[in-house]
C-alpha cells in the first residue's frame, strides 16, 4: 500500500482509510494502478456535507397571545440549523429572552418547559442558528430591542475594530469570537432611527445579512441587500408572521402574503405591514436554497422547492440518453425530489434502496463533533438488499461538497450487492467557496472536492480564474477530465453533474436574479 507517501500533505483519518481499502480489494481487484492516487483523495476528504451551515428565523405580531406560534414557527426551521436556538418576546412590559444549545437536544424539548415564562406576549421572534447565540437584546438611544440574523459577515474583523476604535464594547462571546448578531445590534444603534440603523447594517456588511428586530411596538423585518436569503410574510385575522421559510405557515393558520424584496425593510404590527425602505432592483438569491437547503414544502419567490427539484431531475434524465438502469433512487432527503423528477421523465421506476432510520435519527440531529457527525451520517442510512442485489441504479444526490458522505454511501451500495452505480448530481461541481452564507465551517477553497481535484490535475494550488473557468464549462475537455477523475475516485460506474443552464431553468428565475457564485464565480460583491 502507498498510504505513507501521502500522509505528509493532509490529516490522516485512519478509519476512512481502512474503509476504502476494504471496498477497493473487494470490488476493484484489477485497479491496482489507481491505488496510490485514489488513496490520496480519500485521505484528504474527511469532511461531510453535514458541515453546510445556514440558519432560519420566525417572528409573529398578533392581537392575541402568540407564544405558541413563535415556538412552533421557529421549530419548523430546524432543518436550517443544529447548533443554537433562541426566542425573545415583548410581554407588554418587558423583554424576555431564552437561548439554548441544540448540541444535545432538539428545539422543542429545550424550550417547551419554559414557555410559561413568556406569559401572554403578543410579539416575539425566534431563531434556529448554526452559528452564534441569538437573539441579542440591547438598549440604545433607540430604546430596547432584540435582534436575530441569518448572516455571514465577511468583514467582521474590520467592523469590530471600527466599533472598538469608537469605544463601543462587546459583551457576548461566541466560541471566543465576536458575536456577529451583537455586532449587527450595535450597528443598528448607530442610526438616528431604526430605519437608518438597519440601512447602515445593509451598507456596511460584506457577505449577507437578513434580520428581524423586535421592539416594544413592532417587528422590523429586513432582507439582505441582494436578497441572498429569503424573508416571507404571512397573515391571519389576528396578525402577521415573517419567516425564513413559508413551510411554517399552513399548520399555524397563516396564509402567504408576499416575499420581501432585496434590501426591503418593513415594519410589522398586528394591524398591517408598512414599507420602511422599498426593495432595490438587483437581486441574487441563493440557488442552493432550491438545490439543498430548502424544505420540500417551502416556496421562495413563489417557486416551490420540491417542484424545482422535480424539474432539475427531469432535465438530467433528458440528457441521460446512454444509460440503461433498473430504477432511479435518491439519497435521502434532499436527493429524493430530484430522483422522482428523473424517474418520471425517464420512465424508470423510483425505488428506495436506502431508507433513513428516522425514529431515533431525525434529519436535524447533527452533533458538533466531526467524528460523531461522520458516524451519525453512516448510521442513519439503512441499505435494503432486496432492492440492491445485482441492480443497476441511477442515484441522485443534491451536490458534492467534500465527497465523504457520497463515498460512504457508494461503499454501502457495493457492500449490499449493487451491480452498477450511475451517480447524478443535481448541481454543477462546487468550485468557488461561498462568501455570502456560512456555507462551511472552513474558508479554504480546498475543502471543496472539485477544487482539490482541479488542484491535483493542474499540479498547483495557484489556480488562475482563466484555468478555473475552463473546468467550470461543462462542454470543455478539462471539465470532462475533472468529472472522470472524480468518478474513478468515488468508484462509480458513471458520474454526471447538472449543467448550470439546466439548473437555472429548473428553478425558473432569470439567471441575473440568482446567485450562482459557487459554480461560476459570477455574483455581485458590492
43, 90, 288, 354: residue in contact with ligand SF4 (rule CB under 6 A): 288
Name which of 118 and 288 has its Cβ closer to ligand SF4: 288
515 near ligand SF4, judged by CB under 6 A: yes
437 near ligand SF4, judged by CB under 6 A: yes
57 near ligand SF4, judged by CB under 6 A: no
Three-point CA angle 140, 142, 145, nearest 5° = 70
Segment lying near ligand SF4 (by CB under 6 A), choices 41-49, 231-239, 430-438, 459-467: 430-438
228 near ligand SF4, judged by CB under 6 A: yes
Distance CA 352, CA 356 (A): 10
C-alpha cell of residue 392: 443497476
Identify whether the C-beta of residue 232 lies closer than 8 Å to the C-beta of residue 255: no
439 near ligand SF4, judged by CB under 6 A: yes
CB 51 → ligand SF4: shortest distance, Å?
A: 13
111 near ligand SF4, judged by CB under 6 A: no
60: β partners: 124, 241
38, 252, 434, 454: residue in contact with ligand SF4 (rule CB under 6 A): 434
Q: At what angle do helices 180-189 and 156-165 cross, to 10 degrees?
A: 50
Q: Is 175 left (phi over 0), alpha (psi -120 to 50) or beta?
A: left
436 near ligand SF4, judged by CB under 6 A: yes
Window 239-278: contact mask with ligand SF4 (x via CB under 6 A): ----------------------------------------
Segment lying near ligand SF4 (by CB under 6 A), choices 54-62, 80-88, 241-249, 511-519: 511-519
CB 151 → ligand SF4: shortest distance, Å?
A: 12
269: β partners: 272
Name which of 288 and 295 has its Cβ closer to ligand SF4: 288
Q: Is 459 left (phi over 0), alpha (psi -120 to 50) or beta?
A: left
118 near ligand SF4, judged by CB under 6 A: no
Position of cell 459577515?
Answer: 153
Identify whether the C-beta of residue 431 lies closer than 8 Å to the C-beta of residue 518: yes
Distance CA 251, CA 239 (A): 15
388 near ligand SF4, judged by CB under 6 A: no
Name which of 289 and 406 has its Cβ closer to ligand SF4: 289
Count of residues near ligand SF4 by CB under 6 A: 13
Name which of 100 and 228 has its Cβ closer to ligand SF4: 228
225 near ligand SF4, judged by CB under 6 A: no
517 near ligand SF4, judged by CB under 6 A: yes
287, 416, 438, 498: residue in contact with ligand SF4 (rule CB under 6 A): 287
Q: Is 159 exposed, middle or buried (0-12, 13-18, 19+ CB in 10 A)?
A: buried
211: β partners: 149, 222
109: Cβ contacts below 8 Å, ≥ 6 apart: none
402 near ligand SF4, judged by CB under 6 A: no
Name which of 20 and 288 has its Cβ closer to ligand SF4: 288
CB 4 → ligand SF4: shortest distance, Å?
A: 37
Distance CA 349, CA 340 (A): 9
Segment lying near ligand SF4 (by CB under 6 A), choices 360-368, 375-383, 385-393, 434-442: 434-442
Identify whether the C-beta of residue 328 lies closer than 8 Å to the C-beta of residue 394: yes
With CA atoms as reference, report the closest residue to 319 among 410, 425, 398: 425
226 near ligand SF4, judged by CB under 6 A: no
Please write down the HEC assignment for all residues of 213-258: EECCCCEEEECCCCCCCCCEEEECCCEEEEECCHHHHHHHCCEEEE
286 near ligand SF4, judged by CB under 6 A: yes
CB 523 → ligand SF4: shortest distance, Å?
A: 6
Residues that bind ligand SF4 (CB under 6 A): 228, 286-288, 434, 436-437, 439, 515-518, 523
Amino acid at each position: 500500500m502507498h498510504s505513507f507517501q501521502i500522509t505528509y500533505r493532509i490529516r490522516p483519518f485512519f478509519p476512512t482509510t481502512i474503509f476504502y481499502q476494504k471496498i477497493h480489494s473487494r470490488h476493484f481487484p484489477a485497479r491496482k494502478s489507481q491505488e496510490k492516487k485514489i488513496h490520496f483523495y480519500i485521505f484528504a476528504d474527511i469532511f461531510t456535507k453535514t458541515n453546510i451551515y445556514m440558519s432560519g428565523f420566525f417572528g409573529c405580531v398578533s392581537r392575541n397571545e402568540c407564544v405558541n406560534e413563535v415556538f412552533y414557527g421557529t421549530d419548523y426551521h430546524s432543518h436550517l440549523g443544529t447548533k443554537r436556538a433562541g426566542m425573545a418576546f415583548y410581554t407588554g412590559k418587558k423583554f424576555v429572552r431564552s437561548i439554548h444549545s441544540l448540541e444535545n437536544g432538539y428545539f422543542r424539548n429545550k424550550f417547551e418547559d419554559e414557555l410559561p415564562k413568556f406569559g401572554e406576549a403578543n410579539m416575539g421572534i425566534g431563531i434556529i442558528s448554526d452559528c452564534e447565540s441569538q437573539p441579542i437584546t440591547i438598549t440604545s438611544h433607540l430604546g430596547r430591542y432584540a435582534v436575530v440574523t441569518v448572516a455571514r459577515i465577511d468583514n467582521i474583523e474590520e467592523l469590530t475594530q471600527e466599533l472598538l476604535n469608537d469605544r463601543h464594547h462587546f459583551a457576548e462571546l461566541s466560541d471566543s469570537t465576536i458575536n456577529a448578531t451583537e455586532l449587527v445590534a450595535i450597528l443598528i444603534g448607530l442610526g438616528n432611527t431604526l430605519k437608518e440603523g438597519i440601512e447602515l447594517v445593509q451598507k456596511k456588511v460584506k457577505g449577507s445579512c437578513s434580520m428581524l428586530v423586535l421592539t416594544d411596538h413592532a417587528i422590523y423585518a429586513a432582507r439582505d441587500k441582494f436578497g441572498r436569503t429569503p424573508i416571507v410574510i404571512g397573515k391571519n385575522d389576528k396578525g402577521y408572521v415573517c419567516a425564513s421559510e413559508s413551510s411554517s405557515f399552513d399548520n399555524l393558520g397563516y396564509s402567504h402574503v408576499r416575499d420581501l424584496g432585496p434590501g426591503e425593510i418593513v415594519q410589522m404590527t398586528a394591524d398591517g405591514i408598512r414599507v420602511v425602505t422599498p426593495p432595490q432592483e438587483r437581486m441574487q438569491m441563493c440557488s442552493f436554497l432550491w438545490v439543498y437547503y430548502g424544505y420540500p414544502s417551502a416556496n421562495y419567490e413563489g417557486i416551490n422547492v420540491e417542484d424545482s427539484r422535480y424539474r432539475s431531475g427531469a432535465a438530467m434524465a433528458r440528457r441521460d440518453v446512454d444509460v440503461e438502469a433498473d430504477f432511479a433512487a435518491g439519497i435521502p432527503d434532499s436527493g429524493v425530489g430530484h430522483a422522482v423528477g428523473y424517474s418520471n421523465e425517464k420512465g424508470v421506476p423510483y425505488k428506495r434502496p436506502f431508507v433513513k432510520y428516522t425514529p431515533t435519527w431525525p434529519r436535524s440531529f447533527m452533533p458538533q463533533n466531526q467524528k460523531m457527525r461522520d458516524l451519525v451520517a453512516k448510521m442513519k442510512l439503512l441499505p435494503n438488499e432486496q432492492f440492491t442485489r445485482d441492480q443497476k441504479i441511477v442515484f441522485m444526490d443534491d451536490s458534492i461538497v467534500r465527497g465523504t458522505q457520497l463515498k460512504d454511501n457508494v461503499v454501502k451500495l457495493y457492500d449490499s450487492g449493487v451491480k452498477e452505480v450511475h451517480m447524478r448530481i443535481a448541481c454543477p461541481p462546487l468550485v468557488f467557496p461561498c462568501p455570502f452564507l456560512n456555507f462551511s465551517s472552513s474558508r479554504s477553497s480546498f475543502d471543496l472536492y472539485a477544487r482539490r481535484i482541479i488542484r491535483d490535475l493542474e499540479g498547483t494550488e495557484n489556480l488562475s480564474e482563466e484555468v478555473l473557468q475552463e473546468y467550470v464549462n461543462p462542454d470543455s475537455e478539462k471539465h470532462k477530465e475533472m468529472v472522470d477523475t472524480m468518478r474513478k475516485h468515488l468508484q462509480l460506474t458513471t458520474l454526471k453533474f447538472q449543467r448550470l443552464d439546466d439548473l437555472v431553468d429548473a428553478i425558473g428565475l432569470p439567471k441575473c436574479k440568482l446567485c450562482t457564485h459557487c459554480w461560476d464565480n459570477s455574483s455581485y460583491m458590492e
